[in-house]
Amino acid sequence: MFKTILVHVDRDSGSDERTRLAIGLARRYNAALIGLTAGLPRLPVEFYADGLGVIAAGNDFTELDRKELEAEFGLAAKSFAKATEGFGLKTEWRSSMGIPSNAVVAASNAADLIIVGRGDKTVFGDYRTTSAGDVLMRSGRPVLTVPTGLSELTVKNVVVAWKDTREARRAIVDALPFMKEAAHTHLFHIDEGEGALESLKDVQAALARHQVTAKITSEPRGDGPIEEQILQFALRTQTDLIVAGAYGHTRFREWVFGGMTRGLLNNCPIACLMSH
């Protein structure tokens, strides 16, 4: 069960909706809610070093930039406090002058579930918004990515994008709280000739012991991207949540050649819970 939920708050159009969704989940699971915002001053030249922060050069690196960002942090804190007021939730607010993805990863020690916006934006994260892919790779926590426009997650139908990998096995365990409340859970497998029927039956039996009844569906590999085939099945079954293992291949390979994880993170109109 999720007892602490961490939500990233920023200036994106979907941030307020994402916060409302996080509040709804925190109320449902009787969880503490941590709101976090982070960012760096806007600079004309930035050299990113993953895990090391930013070395910046340029005349715009001034105290004015920092004060502007601190003012934004203050507005975000007030917005979070107003949104959570009156629900009886245990809340905490954090702000960090640093790369947002790094700040979320650092705070993940306190959380059971991380909620961020959609998008694997850059390899090293961004100076004002998180990269869901970066958080997935480094946090060691399940990450719920929320598309713009979604302010409530009522989980009636879940699709598990199954492949017999470590990442998919981890995602199924992490998604159990959602699957237990869902009316329907689908174990969806795209057959690429690897013979996954036995693993599907094992997963189905394991879920049954958690009082989750799952239906197995296997389809032959289509012509298009795997993520499109997963999405089409999810739309046909009126899915509220897609569960998937993330980055079974290296993240760099997905950036060069494309891949299921990056496709879902960047383009999926449905909430996704992923684990790496």
Separation between Cα atoms, residue 253 and residue 178, nearest integer Å: 31
105 and 232 in a single domain? The answer is no
Tell whether 69 is covered by a domain.
yes
115 and 170 in a single domain? The answer is no
C-beta atoms surrounding 86 within 10 Å: 7
Tell whether 152 is covered by a domain.
no
26 and 139 in a single domain? The answer is yes
Residue-level pLDDT at 53: 52
Question: If residue 269 lies in a helix (H) or strand (E), which one and from where to where?
Answer: none
Instruction: Kindly give the residue spans of alpha helices, DSSP state H, lying in the chain.
Output: 15-28, 63-84, 100-107, 132-139, 166-174, 176-181, 197-208, 226-236, 251-257, 260-267
**Which tokens belong to 27?**
């109320």
Gyration radius of the chain's alpha carbons: 19
Residues in the chain: 276
Separation between Cα atoms, residue 11 and residue 48, nearest integer Å: 21
182 and 269 in a single domain? The answer is yes
Residue-level pLDDT at 217: 95
Tell whether 48 is covered by a domain.
yes
Q: Helix, strand, or coil here: 109?
A: helix
| Residue pointed to by tokens 């496709």 | 263
Nearest to residue 34, comparing CAs of 86, 112, 150?
112
Separation between Cα atoms, residue 72 and residue 92, nearest integer Å: 18
Stretches where the chain sits below pLDDT 70 are 42-62, 122-126, 195, 248-258
192 and 263 in a single domain? The answer is yes
Quote the domain boundaries for residue 235: 157-275
Do the beta carbons of residue 101 and residue 28 sit within 8 Å? no
Separation between Cα atoms, residue 62 and residue 231, nearest integer Å: 46
Instruction: Write out pLDDT tens, residues 80-108.
Output: 999 999 999 999 999 999 999 999 999 99
Separation between Cα atoms, residue 200 and residue 216, nearest integer Å: 7
216 and 252 in a single domain? The answer is yes
Q: Among 101, 121, 146, where does a domain finish?
A: 146
Residue-level pLDDT at 256: 42
Q: Is the dihedral of CA 129, 160, 217, 258 positive or negative?
A: positive
- Residue 214, beta-bridge partner list: 185
Q: Among 119, 146, 173, where does a domain finish?
A: 146
37 and 168 in a single domain? The answer is no
Residue-level pLDDT at 243: 98
CATH number of the domain residue 74 falls in: 3.40.50.620
Output the 3-class SS for 212-251: CCEEEEEEECCCCCHHHHHHHHHHHCCCCEEEEECCCCCH
pTM exceeds 0.85: yes
Tell whether 227 is covered by a domain.
yes
Residue-level pLDDT at 90: 98
| Dihedral (Cα; 217, 218, 219, 224), 10-degree rounding | 90
137 and 185 in a single domain? The answer is no
Total domains in the chain come to: 2
